[in-house]
Amino acid sequence: MKSRLLRSEPDRVFLLRLERGDAFVESLARFAGEQGISAARIEGIGAFTDARLGFYDLERKDYDRFSVDEDAEVLSLLGNVTRKDGEPWVHAHVTLGRRDGAAIGGHLFEGHVAATLEVFVSAVPEELVREVDDHVGLALIRP
C-alpha cells in the first residue's frame, strides 16, 4: 500500500493506493496507527479478489458471515476509522459488483485487493471512541 498526503490543513486528507494482494482492513488500521489517526471518514473504489462480509443479526447479536471468493468491483467502500480499546478500528461497508453486474454487499471484515483500490481518508483532529453497547452487542461510537 502506498499513501499520499493530499492536504495537511485544516485536517489531513490522504489518498491510499492499495495493490494486488493487500488486505484492506488490516492495511488501513496499521496506517491509522502509524499516522495517529483517531477519527476519519473513508471512501473508496477499486476491486477485490476475495472479501469476507457480514450481516448483523440483532437477535443473535452476532454476524452471519459469508465470502465472495471471486474478483469483484468495489462499487462503494464507505466507513470510518475510530479507536477501540486505544487501537485504530476500521468500520466499513462495501458494495461489490460481480462479473454480470449483480451487486452484493455487507459489513466488511476483510478484502484483498485485485488490480487496485483507491481510498480517500479524511481525518479530523478529534478522537472518536467505540464502546460495546450490551443492548445491541456491537461497539458503538461514544457520542
User: Among residues 23 and 139, whose Cβ is nearest to a copy of itself?
Assistant: 139
How deeply is 54 buried, as exposed, middle or buried, from its count of CB atoms within 10 A (0-12, 13-18, 19+)?
middle
Residue 69 engages a copy of itself in binding (rule: CB under 8 A): no
Name residues contacting a copy of itself, limited to 46-65 (CB under 8 A). 47, 53, 55-58, 64
Residue from 74, 81, 88, 89 binding a copy of itself (CB under 8 A): 74
Please state, in angstroms and rounded to a whole number, the distance separating the CA atoms of residues 90 and 83.
Answer: 8
Residue from 32, 37, 44, 90 binding a copy of itself (CB under 8 A): 44
Please state, in angstroms and rounded to a whole number, the distance separating the CA atoms of residues 14 and 142.
Answer: 25
Is residue 138 within 8 A of residue 132, CB to CB? The reply is: yes
Amino acid at 47: A
Residue in the structure block whose three cell numbers are 492536504: 7
Bridge partner list, 43: 78, 120
Residue 35 engages a copy of itself in binding (rule: CB under 8 A): no
Residue numbers at the binding site for a copy of itself (CB under 8 A): 2-4, 6-7, 9-11, 13, 15, 17, 20, 39, 41, 43-45, 47, 53, 55-58, 64, 66, 68, 71, 73-76, 78-80, 91-95, 97-107, 114-116, 118, 120, 124-126, 128, 135-138, 140-141, 143
